[in-house]
Structure 1
Amino acid sequence: MGIGKVFKDDNTAPINSMDFCGDGTLLITASDDESIHLYNINSGDSQKQLYSKKYGVDLIRFTHHNDAIICASKNQWDESLRYLSLHDNRYLRYFKGHRNKVVSLSMSPVNDTFMSGSLDDTIRLWDLRTNVCQGIIRRNGRPSLSYDPEGIILATAVSGNSIKLYDVRNFDKGPFSNFIVHHPQPVEWTGMKFSNDDGSVHVWRTLTGEEIAVWGGHHSKVGCVQWNPKLMMAASACSTLSFWIPSINES
């Protein structure tokens, strides 16, 4: 892979989160400079720029509509989640309930529900059609969570190297599976995602540090990486956003 295009001047602070839309044609980014940028993948251009000066913006995620997103606040006084229309930069709904910083957000791939995990030791289930919380899972520690591609299983991970799997339809009955990730030190999860392929999972052995590729080019710490769900490309970001595409070997 090689860098196909770089956007150097769009952000004045690190990009903290980004997401591809379901059909892979758009990428949305959120930055610590309180800006939201929308990029067209087919043309490789910046398409729209919005700001969230009052709340800040973090954990940005597309809904099932390319002109609407959900996101978390990034300030010291508000922990609400927001449903934002990109068409007219208008908040459609607020989701209040968390009492500490929201650190994980996952949109269901099949309907209008989504999950949020917070440092208040709760995971909450929401529905875009109402601001009333639909359910709560209580777990101690920093939670990371993800829906599976069918929207049936919810995976949660917290400190202690433990991953628990829930049936979304019966999450109130507790996890149906629990397993431990063996690692020499306790793990603090910062993100997790189901593999959306034929079921294979590639693992890098932490004890040997074996690697298959190194992508260089960023001038500071890379804070987030996303693969396009439809195209052979990826995006990575510090305060600079880079698109990665297969390089052509001319030899």
Structure 2
Amino acid sequence: MKITDSVLRSFRVARTYRENSDKVNCLEYSPNGENAISSSDDDRIVVYDITQGKPIDTLYSKKYGADLIRYTHGDSQKVIYSSNKLDDTIRYLSLTDYKYIRYFPGHTARVTALSMSPVEDMFISCSLDKTIRIWDLRTENVQGLTEPLDRPICSFDPDGLIFAVGVNSQFIKLYDVRAFAKGPFNSFELRMNRSCDWTGLKFSNDGKQILISTNGGMICIVNAFTGDVMHKFSGYNNSKGLKLEACFTPDSQFVMIGSEDGRVHVWSTENKMKVAVLDGKHPGPISALQFNPRYMTFATACSSMTFWLPSVEDF
């Protein structure tokens, strides 16, 4: 099924799970789309089977907490996650035997972004300690480290060749992974005329666009090659300055974001028109949102996790 305006408008809540007692911080689909995982403020890491449509396991990280979580490259049985307790070490965890494979120490403040390379066992992290660090899953030793950057956020491109860093809610810097030590090969200054902070940065799957999320009532799309602001989207609720996750659909043709009132807003990246507002009856703000990379489904989360499917009755 092709993703179209009418398909997106047809999405309905298929399942809602209340495995958590506090806010879900992050959710992630596995590379094959068959599993999903979430991390939350109640120290739970919950694994979901998408093919069966149900939670299948719950792990606890009571000592360290669980903030950001990512599946590793091509593996639905291993994850990395950052902590919100005790220290700022990143942990590499096996989901088959619930054992830590490796620790990645070095950050001295909360990790603000984790991005796994789509092509190899490498990931990047950035932190309120103003550094970006490059890691290899095979060793705990950091592979690269930037000069201080104010309030950084980061993401790999879909080819794993470059990564983008948002700095001080004003600049985007592009780095070549293999020539990281040389510094950024390009830098763009964005003038968005809004008094809000950037909270997330993602490439579209075609690598041509960068989506910037903010803690205000606006997200924007930037040309990944020129740095030009292509579109700005607003008209959703975020009066409390929350970190609300936005994402592209897998075909790069639409962007989505959850809102403070529990609704999902969807726009076309081609004509800038809003195509849908979907009500998932969330009891709190939608803090996490991801579209499945392989199947026609997406997930949203507040303190509960909701999975969505298109309604066949509409076709």
Normalising by structure 1, report the TM-score: 0.93
Alignment CA distance shift 1:70-1:5 (3 Å): same
Alignment CA distance shift 1:248-1:238 (3 Å): same
Mapped partners of 2:200, 2:209: distance in 1: 19
Deviations 1:68-103 (A, max 9, x none): 10000111x301000001111111111110111111
Alignment CA distance shift 1:207-1:53 (3 Å): closer
Report how far residue 158 of structure 1 moved: 1.9
The residue number in structure 2 matching 1:22 is: 31
The residue number in structure 1 matching 2:232 is: 205
Alignment CA distance shift 1:159-1:200 (3 Å): closer
The amino acid of 2:187's aligned partner reads: N
The amino acid of 2:199's aligned partner reads: T
**Aligned partner (choices 70, 75, 78) of residue 61 of structure 1:** 70
Percent of residue pairs identical: 43
Q: What RMSD over aligned residues (CA atoms) do the two structures have, in Å? A: 1.9
Verify: 1:228 aligned to 2:228, yes or no.
no
Count of residues in Structure 1 that have an aligned counterpart in Structure 2: 249
Gaps of 5+ in 1: none
Deviations 1:118-156 (A, max 9, x none): 000100011110100111012432211110111001000
The residue number in structure 2 matching 1:103 is: 112
Point out the more displaced range, 139-148 or 27-36. Answer: 139-148
The residue number in structure 2 matching 1:122 is: 131
Gaps of 5+ in 2: 1-10, 211-220, 222-229, 237-272
Report how far residue 247 of structure 1 moved: 2.1
The amino acid of 1:81's aligned partner reads: I
- Residue 160 of structure 1 contacts residue 186 of structure 1 at CA under 8 Å; is this kept in 2? no
Mapped partners of 1:157, 1:68: distance in 2: 27
Report how far residue 178 of structure 1 moved: 1.1
Verify: 1:6 aligned to 2:16, yes or no.
yes
Alignment CA distance shift 1:207-1:48 (3 Å): closer
The residue number in structure 2 matching 1:72 is: 82
SS in 1 for 2:115: strand
Higher relative contact order, structure no. (Cα contacts within 8 Å, ≥ 6 residues apart): 1
Alignment CA distance shift 1:71-1:187 (3 Å): same
SS in 2 for 1:89: coil
Mapped partners of 1:181, 1:105: distance in 2: 23
